[in-house]
Amino acid sequence: MSETPIITTKNLNLWYNEKHALMDVNMGIQKNKTTALIGPSGCGKSTLLRCFNRLNDLIGCVKITGDITLDNESIHEGAVDIVMLRKRVGMVFQKPNPFPKSIYDNVAYGPRVHGVRDRKELDVIVEKSLKHAALWDEVKDRLNESALGLSGGQQQRLCIARTLAVEPEVILMDEPCSALDPIATAKIENLIDMLKQEYTVIIVTHNMQQAARVSDFTGFMYLGKLIEYDQTVNIFEHPKEELTEKYITGRFG
Q: Select from 72, 17, 82 the least CA-distant residue to 51.
A: 82
Which of 60, 182, 250, 253 is close enough to bind other proteins by CB under 8 A? 250
Q: Closest approach of Cβ 234 to other proteins, in Å?
A: 8
Q: Compute the distance between CA of residue 117 and CA of residue 114 in angstroms, rounded to an integer.
A: 9
For the bound state, the minimum distance from the C-beta of residue 252 to other proteins, rounded and expressed in Å, comes to 9
Provide the minimum distance between the beta carbon of 239 and other proteins in the complex, in angstroms, as a whole number: 6
Is 169 an interacting residue with respect to other proteins (CB under 8 A)?
A: no
Are 17 and 61 within 8 A, CB to CB?
Answer: yes
The residues near 129 (Cβ < 8 Å, ≥ 6 apart) are 107, 161, 162, 164, 165
Cα separation, 125 vs 142, in Å, equals 16
The CA R_g of the chain, rounded to the nearest whole Å, is 18
Element at 56 (helix H, strand E):
none
Smallest separation (angstroms) from other proteins to the CB of 60 = 39
Which CB, 200 or 244, lies closer to other proteins?
244
Nearer to other proteins, 165 or 212 (CB): 212
Q: Pick the closer one to other proteins by CB: 4 or 249.
A: 249
**Distance (Å, whole) CA 22 – CA 44:** 6
Q: Is 212 in the site for other proteins (CB under 8 A)?
A: yes
> Is residue 52 close enough to count as binding other proteins by CB under 8 A?
no
User: Nearer to other proteins by C-beta: 212 or 227?
Assistant: 212
Least distance CB 235 / other proteins (angstroms) = 8
Identify the helix (H) or strand (E) that includes residue 49: helix 45-51
Residue numbers at the binding site for other proteins (CB under 8 A): 208-209, 212, 236-239, 244-245, 248-251
